[in-house]
Amino acid sequence: MLDKKNLKGSCGCGKVEYIISSNPIFTQACHCKDCKKSTGSSFVVHTSVFEEDLEIKGKISSTELPTGSGKGYRAFFCVNCGVFIYCKYNIAPGRVTIRTMTLDKPITPQAHIFVKDKDPWIDITNKEICFDTMYDREKMWPEESLKKLDNMIIK
């Protein structure tokens, strides 16, 4: 179980704050080309949570962007500093993806995906959680997260 007080975050200027009220589903680093472009950095760290568990305070705006799947996603950012806090993938209803490093105490990734596109100067020590592209959710996600997702689909 994660300590709830750790699950607070904010944008760069502090005008937008958020709280995650339940254990996150999963945290992963993505080294794909799209994530590099959208962060302007070598990889992104994403924490996926159920939409009902995310409480946002402050003014946010959003924009629709393309994804590799062609379904697209909506990115949400602070209207003042422009920091991209979370997004909603159209292929994953009911879930949102937080930019993990906007948390006050960021979570360590449980997997690294699209390692085939990883920058050569990055050396990930835990090879067991590295995947060339994607992993099998059933094998990687905690039991609690899989159960919650099942319940959501049945609803």
Candidate ranges 26-34, 64-72, 94-102, 129-137; the one touching Zn ion (CB under 5 A)? 26-34
Local structure of 141: helix, strand or coil: coil
Whose Cβ is closer to Zn ion: residue 59's or residue 147's? 59
Q: How far apart are the first and last CA of the chain?
A: 25
CA distances from 84 to 27, 62, 77 (A): 17, 9, 4
* 42, 122 contact by CB (below 8 A): yes
For position 7 contacting Zn ion by CB under 5 A, the verdict is no
Nearer to Zn ion, 50 or 73 (CB): 73
x-or-dash string of contact with Zn ion, 28-57, rule CB under 5 A? --x-x--x----------------------
Q: How far is the CB of 128 from Zn ion (least distance, A)?
A: 20
Q: Is the dihedral of CA 68, 74, 78, 80 positive or negative?
A: positive
Work out whether 78 is an interface residue with Zn ion (CB under 5 A).
Answer: yes
Tokens 């339940």, residue located:
22
| Binding flag, residue 74, Zn ion (CB under 5 A) | no
Contact region with Zn ion (CB under 5 A), list: 14-22, 60-68, 85-93, 137-145:
14-22
**Which 107-126 positions form the footprint of Zn ion (CB under 5 A)?**
none
Nearer to Zn ion, 16 or 148 (CB): 16
C-alpha span between 66 and 100 (Å, rounded): 21
Contact 27, 97 (CB under 8 A): no
Interface residues with Zn ion (CB under 5 A)? 11, 13, 15, 30, 32, 35, 78, 80-81
